[in-house]
Structure 1
Amino acid sequence: MTDILEAISLVASWDVILVIVAASLFGLFMGAIPGLTATMATALLVPVTFFMEPLPAIAAIVSATAMAIVAGDIPGALLRMPGTPASAVYADEAYLMGKKGKLGLALGINVTCSMLGGIIGVIVLALFAPRIAEFALQFTSDEYFWLALLGLSCAILVSGKDPLKGAVSMLIGLTIAMVGMDSVSGQVRFTFGSYDLLAGVSLLPILIGLFAITELLRSIPGSGHGAPKTDVPPGCVLSGVGSTTWRYKGGVARGGLLGTMIGALPGAGADIASWISYAISRKLSRTPEKYGTGHPEGLVSASAANNAALSGAYIPALVFGIPGDTVTAIIIGVLMTKGITPGPDVFTEQGALVNAIFLVFVLANLLLLPLGILAIKGAGRLLTVPTGVLYPLILMFCIVGAFSANNTMFDVWIMLGLGLLGYFLMENDFPLGPLILAFILGPIIESNFMRSILKSDGDLMAFVDRPIAMVLAILAVLVWTLIIANGLRKSQSKSGSTGKSNDALNVANGK
């Protein structure tokens, strides 16, 4: 109880509150600009934290990261340009809601569910951090291989009505992910002699190209695709959000818990959490056919998951000093520069600081609502700008975002090339989601497969000789079996209906 009271006094100081508000505004700006990710926002804050005490330094990073993830939803809904990778999974859903005149509802759901998911993550972090961390530490390359393979099945689950086109899109993503030097063997692949491709293709140019450039091409006059309508209401932005969120409250809870668990796995992160949560939500939904058409149910679960994953990533970081993602790696570095070494002893020796960090998480997530509403109100006016002015500005931000990935023009050309590819895929009804997810998970699957093969000396049975690995393997096989069985059943039903229609035509023609 003493630690809790001391934590409240630490967080209630004016300097900590001021840092939380300032960092949130900074994260809002960084996340709202496509290409400037939450990780980049965190990295830019590191030099500033050198002049702060431990708690304000952590508060700055936590607040900026949470707000940047939420702010990434804004350009996704307005212009189909996800501000961060974690926003990519539901950018289409939010954008299509905007085209239906429900932009305010889409952004309101994003902000509200992100806040709720983040708070769920904090509660789980505070109550079960040591136990979840112990479970996460049991994962070896075998478990990560099966988990990533299970996640790859989400590429088919989010592919829409045509699983075959989703599979083709997934294979394109896996092919792009193989470009560059193999992280385990050092083998160079598909670089065609280009030095710039040795490190592979960066995620930012891919995201910006496939979403932003593709949408710009589709918005050209005469393309048949208009700009979205805006319905950001003059009054309260949250009108209708409460009832929608309550209707899908199970998705909020599931997304929050799932996001926390996935975030606790080192290397997983908010983007993978949101993809998996969206896919599971679609699979469990009573109306899966509405997904991909501007349906709020998909937004609810994925928005809750990506912010919950931020809290989950701090579980192994605080308990064992093992970073869950890039942001927590930076946090560990900041804590160590302050003379604090993350680990089990922190909970006993620095109990007040740990509880203060939990309170900072709660405040940062609660602050998402008022600042998010202000951002939505301001962002709604963006669509009133004439397209002749708006589109060149968007293209400029796209170029800056792609260039900022590695400070090279090569990434700009990659972005433009993938924009053309995305335009071709979208015009032929190939979903882009499986491509992005496969690109993210491809290297994880390959590197962990190679590590397991090397340490087992080629024995494939080593992949299932551990209990957790065996359970994940069984789940992966079951999911892929169901996907294949569903595909075969749909093809048989289509061929049967085609045969019946041909018979009816023959009868009508007197044959």
Structure 2
Amino acid sequence: MSTLLEAFHLIATWDVIVAVVLASVFGLFVGAVPGLTATMAMAIMVPVTFALDPIPAVGAMVACSAMAIFAGDIPAVLLRMPGTPASAAYAHEGYLMTRRGEATRALSASLVFSALGGLFGTAVLIVAAPSLAEVALKFSSFEYFWLATLGLTSAAFVASDDRVKSFISLLIGLGVATIGMENPAGMPRFTFGSIELLAGVNFVSALIGLFAISEVLRSVIHSQPAIPKVDLARIGNPLREVGGMIRQYWRQMMRGNVLGVVVGVLPGAGADIASWMAYAVSRRFSRQPEKFGTGHVEGIVEGASANNAAVSGAWVPALVFGVPGDSITAIVVGVLFMKGLNPGPTLFLENPQNIYAIFLIFIAANLLILPLGWGAIRIARNILNVPRNVLMPIILVFCIVGAYASNNGTFTIGVMLAFGVLGYFMEENGIPIAPCILGLVLGELVESNFITSMLKADGSLLAFFERPISGTLGVMTLLVWLLPVVIAVRRSARRRRESMPANN
């Protein structure tokens, strides 16, 4: 109890409160601008932490990351332009709800379930950090291969009912992921002599192009139906509809929370992969799968729950072993070392008050999402009342700034425009974008871990099933692949048997 009281004293100071609030506002702004990712917000925050004491510095990083992940949902829902990659999974669902005049419902779900997911992840971080980190460290290249492959399997569930077109989209993403030298052999592939492509295709630029630029092109080429006008004075209380959603979708919320924490704990995964997997699981096990792709709030509930839960989960290996859970916590680990809070088991033993202070800041940061996020939503809703011929050029400027900032080069702007054209033609021909994004996210992870595992196993495929966790994930993946085939064969055989008497 004395340690907890000391932790309260550490955070109940003006410098901590001001740092957390200002960092939250900054994360809110950066996350809401397409292309300016949560990782970028954290990187920009690092020089600011030089002048802060350890607790305010870490508090600022916690608040900034939590707010930026949520903020990406605002342009995703209003304009189908994800502010961060973690919001891309359910951007289409939210945008279709906006077109029906249900933007308030979609944004309310995103806001509240993001906060609840962050609080759930924080609770897990407080209670089970050492145990979860120990499990995460048992993951080798074999386990990561199956996890990434299982993620690729989600492409069948996040897209339309046309599995052939979904597979084409996935292959496009996987093909793009092979470009560059980011492969185990370290050899240039499909670079066509371009030095800029040696590092591969910039994911942020590709994401902006596929979602935002394609939408701009569609607006220019086709006359879009007008989005219903918004009466900003009647936005109301965000909790008004959410109570009913929690009662109706509490299973989806818990499932997203658990999945988000599990994926977040795994080093190298993060909120991006968690949101895609959560949306795919939601669609696969929904009682109303036909509503997905038409503007259904259920996918937003589960995806948003997983997002911020993954952010908290990524701190588990970062704090306990100094192993970053994602790119965000990779930056945080550097700040922890810089401030003398060296991550590891000794941090829990020698400075427990600092750890408790960080936990309390996590709680405060996720609670701040509600008032600050709702204020941002009220301001952002004005976007829907701006004429599209005025709005689209402004969005194009933001996209160019975001693409340039992602790699500080003009080449990424060209990549963004190329993927914008690609995204436009894909959607015009009924090819969904979501599987393509999954291929881009997971392609390199699948390849590198497969090659590494084959080298470890001296070419033996049985090694992928010899480890307990790897074998379990492998069997699960194969079952997901084979069950639809078995079911289709049995249905075909049953139809043939039923038709035989009629033919006789």
TM-score for both structures, normalised by structure 2: 0.95
Aligned residue in 2 for 1:244: 245
Summarize the alignment of residues 404-423 of structure 1 with structure 2, pairs less than 5 Å apart: 404-423=405-424
Give how far 1:226 is off.
2.5
Contact 1:105–1:239 under 8 Å retained in 2 = no
Distance 1:269 1:453 in 2: 25
Aligned residue in 2 for 1:49: 49
Contact 1:34–1:75 under 8 Å retained in 2 = yes
1:219 aligns with 2:219: yes
Aligned residue in 2 for 1:337: 338
1:171 aligns with 2:175: no
1:88 aligns with 2:88: yes
1:120 aligns with 2:120: yes
Aligned residue in 2 for 1:99: 99
1:429 aligns with 2:430: yes
Contact 1:33–1:397 under 8 Å retained in 2 = yes
Aligned residue in 2 for 1:188: 188
Aligned residue in 1 for 2:200: 200
Distance 1:215 1:484 in 2: 36
Aligned residue in 2 for 1:12: 12
- Code of the aligned partner of 2:379: G
- Code of the aligned partner of 1:51: A
- Summarize deviations over 1:89-123 as a string: whole Å, max 9, x none: 01001000000100011011101000000000000
Distance 2:427 2:240 in 1: 32
Distance 1:246 1:94 in 2: 20
Contact 2:146–2:474 under 8 Å retained in 1 = yes
Distance 1:412 1:193 in 2: 19
Alpha carbons of structure 1 residues 488 and 276: separation in structure 2 relative to 1, 3 Å: farther
Give how far 1:37 is off.
0.5
Q: 400-409 or 348-357: which moved more?
A: 400-409
Aligned residue in 2 for 1:507: none
- Summarize deviations over 1:317-360 as a string: whole Å, max 9, x none: 11111111111111111111122210011111111111111110
Aligned residue in 1 for 2:228: 229
Aligned residue in 1 for 2:502: none
Give how far 1:254 is off.
1.1
**Corresponding residue SS for 1:367:** helix
Contact 1:95–1:228 under 8 Å retained in 2 = no
Alpha carbons of structure 1 residues 433 and 53: separation in structure 2 relative to 1, 3 Å: same
Distance 1:236 1:339 in 2: 43
Aligned residue in 1 for 2:449: 448
Give how far 1:427 is off.
1.4
- Summarize deviations over 1:124-172 as a string: whole Å, max 9, x none: 1100111111111000000000110011111111122111111111011
Give how far 1:454 is off.
1.4
- Code of the aligned partner of 2:66: A
- Code of the aligned partner of 2:346: D
Aligned residue in 2 for 1:293: 294
Contact 2:260–2:275 under 8 Å retained in 1 = yes
Contact 2:33–2:83 under 8 Å retained in 1 = yes
Summarize the alignment of residues 253-402 of structure 1 with structure 2, pairs less than 5 Å apart: 253-402=254-403
Give how far 1:485 is off.
4.6
- Code of the aligned partner of 1:452: S
Give how far 1:488 is off.
6.8
- Summarize deviations over 1:350-396 as a string: whole Å, max 9, x none: 11111111110000000000011101100011121222221111111
Alpha carbons of structure 1 residues 486 and 215: separation in structure 2 relative to 1, 3 Å: farther
Alpha carbons of structure 1 residues 230 and 64: separation in structure 2 relative to 1, 3 Å: farther
Q: 460-469 or 116-125: which moved more?
A: 460-469
1:477 aligns with 2:470: no
Distance 2:122 2:449 in 1: 30
Give how far 1:70 is off.
0.8
Contact 2:182–2:200 under 8 Å retained in 1 = no
Give how far 1:218 is off.
1.7
Alpha carbons of structure 1 residues 234 and 131: separation in structure 2 relative to 1, 3 Å: closer
Contact 1:109–1:245 under 8 Å retained in 2 = no
Summarize the alignment of residues 21-32 of structure 1 with structure 2, pairs less than 5 Å apart: 21-32=21-32
Q: 33-42 or 240-249: which moved more?
A: 240-249
Give how far 1:479 is off.
0.7
In structure 2, the gaps of 5 or more residues are 500-504
Contact 2:104–2:235 under 8 Å retained in 1 = no
Contact 2:155–2:434 under 8 Å retained in 1 = yes
Alpha carbons of structure 1 residues 485 and 377: separation in structure 2 relative to 1, 3 Å: farther
- Summarize deviations over 1:273-298 as a string: whole Å, max 9, x none: 01111111111110011111100000
Q: Aligned-pair RMSD on alpha carbons?
A: 1.8
- Code of the aligned partner of 1:228: I
Distance 1:33 1:96 in 2: 20
Distance 1:488 1:163 in 2: 17
Contact 1:76–1:88 under 8 Å retained in 2 = yes
Q: 400-409 or 300-309: which moved more?
A: 400-409
Distance 2:478 2:115 in 1: 35
Contact 2:314–2:329 under 8 Å retained in 1 = yes
Aligned residue in 2 for 1:460: 461
Distance 2:152 2:488 in 1: 17
Distance 1:246 1:270 in 2: 25
- Of all paired residues, the percent bearing the same amino acid is 53
- Code of the aligned partner of 1:240: E
Distance 2:489 2:160 in 1: 16
TM-score for both structures, normalised by structure 1: 0.94
- Code of the aligned partner of 1:174: L
Give how far 1:486 is off.
6.0
**Corresponding residue SS for 1:183:** coil
**Corresponding residue SS for 1:89:** coil
